Amino acid sequence: MSNAEIKFRLVNSYSDVRAYLSDIVQAADSAKDALGFFAKPIFEEYARKDLIFVLLIADGNSEIYGGHLIFDARFPKAKVRQIFVVDRFRRLKLGNTLVDALKEQLTEFQFISISARVAEDLRDANHFWERQGFYTQQLVKGGESRKRIIVVRAHELATPQLFQSSGITAADPLGLDFKQDQERPLFLLDLNVLFDLGPRRPRHEQAVAVFRAERMQACSLAISSEIEAELKRTAQKGKTDPMQALAHALPRFTSPEGQDWDRLAPELCQLVFPERALDGRLTANDLSDLKHLATAIHHRLPGLVTSDASVVRCARELRRRYGIEVVSPEAFQAGYIDHPLQQIHATSTGDVLSIQVAQDSDEKEIKALLTELDVNVADQAAHWAAVDGSRGTSWRFMVKDEKCIVGYIAWSRTIHDGPFNAHIAVDEANDTAGDAVRLMLQSLIGVISPSAVARIRLRFPKCQVVVREVAATLGFTRLLSDTNELQKVMVSSIVSKGNWMLTRDSLSNASSIVLPAASPHFRHVDQQIPVIRPDGERVHISLFTLETHLAPALFCLPGRGGVLVPVQRKFAEHLLLQSPQASLLPQARAQLLSQRHYLSGPATLKVFTRGDLIFFYESEKDGGAGAVIALARTLRAYRRSEDALGGTDLLPSVLDSDSLASIGRAAVKTVTAFDNLLELPRQVSRADLRELGCGEAHQLLTSRRLTAQQVEAILRKGTQ
């Protein structure tokens, strides 16, 4: 039965509600653990104030009670006190109907927000409120008898408000839709970078890469008034200097004079030229370099691009003292990607896709795809690197089937802690479009080195539904301010107590998202973690949600449980991406999926709990490592008979009906879905496991639980 198949109505007035007060009291008493306790007269009081919505279900010629919602309404904010749906009518989205009715009424009455309180350990209830768009506002202590943590959730209504809303939503908990974060950094150019544009200069390609980066909108460029003075000083009489014409085409910032220069000059001289500062033997070029720095600092610009080794050498201290990034032109070059010329993958449709680095000879096909998707020629050149884009600042990949191009992705070099700006397009009419998007996003994510933190901006043509759907499974967030852009912050490392501060600093630098000052202790995967967003708002996000949005991050907090599971080498190479060799044969489709399946015997179901860390032990059989090689996060586990195992179970597992017998003869299997797969930096050998009390032969035959102490010890050995 669905919501559309039943007839119901909502009533809110006392004259309609009072006939069902006894049903409401009985329902509330049956769920005291979730709803708390109200004395019977309280229900009468709420009903008289029209603060109860009652859900009435048609039953023949009469109506029966189906659920209720009780709320407080003290303008301009409301509070949900209880919500309940009768068991037989659940999973029909009638709870949504009750909440929507409350939202509609309060919006009409110009209320600004609704809040709800729910115990942190009530997972289903918290998920319900998240689906209704209620974000976590704060955590408070519950009663002394049960010592619960109470999650206070809030939803901001779409009403005209005197004060701007916080912008916090359950759909964008990390606050990535932040306009200030969309601004391009502006870099001041040193004169040596302009001179290097000369075709015979040894750093010519590096200088060209700086200007290509501006074309790709990775940054903006400007000069200081000192450059004009320096050009006049170095100009040869009777000759026209083309650099002066170029300088006039760029925005100009005036160099500081008077007291501002007198204050900055000694500080910068002591830092950049300490030996010459002692005797005052500064050259004209030295003074010019200092004036460029002083201009960037004086105007609070993000950075300076220079080839001067003395200035670059002080980059860290300049960042610490003045908040300015000093970068070399080398930072703007895309660099080399260690990627096979071609990778071949099987798809769910039985077709084969190949992904390869796009070459100049592919530009005709690339432009045809983009033109078909209504990307104009100017954008193709400026943003998509479709014309001469393989040189300098951009990486480009294309996915092809046996006949034609299916998808294309290009992204520019990130400047220090700046974002990866990517553009992706796919032919959605092709049956393999979804797998093509997965391949392209894997290539993008693969550029980010292990243990790195990065922010990714992903833009795409209009009406690319497949891109949005696939990217959502990888933790990308859709921005309301720009329907053709997705964003993601990626932490590709194991986060533990030992590297908490390092990860915290890296995350803050890359995304302005700030974690707590100290690593929390693990209670359960739905515990709320306080986080400061880029807009300065302090929010609470469940540990499970935080890992999903920062995927493939694994927050291995002290006290978190785990499971040790065996896997044969022939399966590990495809399921865990552990093989270092590029294969000439099509790779398994499981490698395209962010969620994969591990199959084991029926008795192992009790071993797995949602949110557990899974440690994959590759057995010594057939030349296996005989060590723990990777870990991941448990999503869910369930039993399925071999006869009922279908494509949705087997495709993500790299097994098929013929190979099922290799993992046991039982006719029923346990299917464990996992994600956030990470390779251990150092394999943990069987000898190491034996020292920890979990490495004997009989302990490695099947899945078994690990203690929190064993988990911490394995992580310590595997991340040293």
The domains of the chain are located at 3-170, 186-332, 343-491, 494-555, 562-718
Class for domain 343-491, per CATH?
alpha beta
Class for domain 3-170, per CATH?
alpha beta
Give the pLDDT mean for 492-518.
92
Q: Which of 176-185, 269-278, 517-526 has the lowest mean pLDDT?
A: 176-185
Residue bearing the bigger pLDDT, 120 or 170: 120
Classify residue 25 as exposed, middle or buried by CB count within 10 Å of its CB (0-12, 13-18, 19+): middle
**What is the β-pairing status of strands 453-459 and 482-491?**
antiparallel
E strand residue ranges, 271-404: 303-305, 325-327, 343-346, 352-357, 394-400
Quickly state the pLDDT bin for 589 (edges 50, 70, 90). Answer: low
Question: How high is the pLDDT of residue 445?
Answer: 84
CATH number of 186-332: 3.40.50.1010
Q: Which of 8-22, 360-374, 406-420, 529-543 has the lowest mean pLDDT?
A: 406-420
pLDDT per residue as tens digits for the range 634-676: 998 998 888 888 767 787 877 777 778 777 788 899 999 899 9
Query: Which residues have a Cβ under 8 Å from the Cβ of 338 and sit 6 or more positions away?
Result: none
How many secondary structure helices (H) and strands (E) does the chain include? 25, 30
The two tokens of residue 104 are: 């509609």
Quickly state the pLDDT bin for 586 (edges 50, 70, 90). Answer: very low
What letters, b where the CB count within 10 A reaches 16 and e where it falls short, cover 404-415? ebbbbbbbbbbb
Task: Return the sign of the alpha-carbon dihedral for residues 615, 616, 621, 624.
Answer: negative
| Measured distance CA(381)–CA(665) in Å, rounded | 58
Give strand pairing partners of 83: 69
Question: How high is the pLDDT of residue 54?
Answer: 96
| Angle, CA of 22, 25 and 31, to the nearest 5° | 140
Percent above pLDDT 70 for the chain? 87
Please tell me which of 117-121, 197-201, 655-659 the model is most confident about, judged by mean pLDDT.
117-121
Question: How high is the pLDDT of residue 66?
Answer: 95
HSE-up of residue 318 (Cα within 13 Å, Cβ side): 26
- pTM, two decimal places: 0.73
Question: How high is the pLDDT of residue 324?
Answer: 87
SS3 at position 15: helix
pLDDT of 294 higher than 60: yes
Give strand pairing partners of 71: 80
Quickly state the pLDDT bin for 582 (edges 50, 70, 90). Answer: very low
Please check whether residue 505 is in contact with residue 451, taking contact to mean a CB–CB distance below 8 angstroms: no
Quickly state the pLDDT bin for 22 (edges 50, 70, 90). Answer: very high
Same fold, 186-332 and 343-491: no
Q: What's the Cα-to-Cα distance from 217 to each of 247, 331, 591, rounded to whole Å? A: 19, 15, 32
**What is the β-pairing status of strands 220-224 and 186-189?**
parallel
Question: What's the per-residue H, E or C state across 379-418?
Answer: HHHHCCCCCCCCCCCEEEEEEECCCCEEEEEEEECCCCCC
Quickly state the pLDDT bin for 414 (edges 50, 70, 90). Answer: low
Question: How high is the pLDDT of residue 8?
Answer: 92
The two tokens of residue 454 are: 């990065």
pLDDT per residue as tens digits for the range 704-718: 999 999 999 999 999
CATH topology of domain 562-718: 2.30.130
| Measured distance CA(141)–CA(144) in Å, rounded | 8
Place of tokens 């399921």: 575
Mean pLDDT of the chain: 84
**What is the β-pairing status of strands 62-74 and 482-491?**
unpaired
pLDDT per residue as tens digits for the range 506-561: 999 888 899 999 999 999 999 999 999 888 888 888 999 899 899 899 999 999 99
| Measured distance CA(119)–CA(132) in Å, rounded | 17
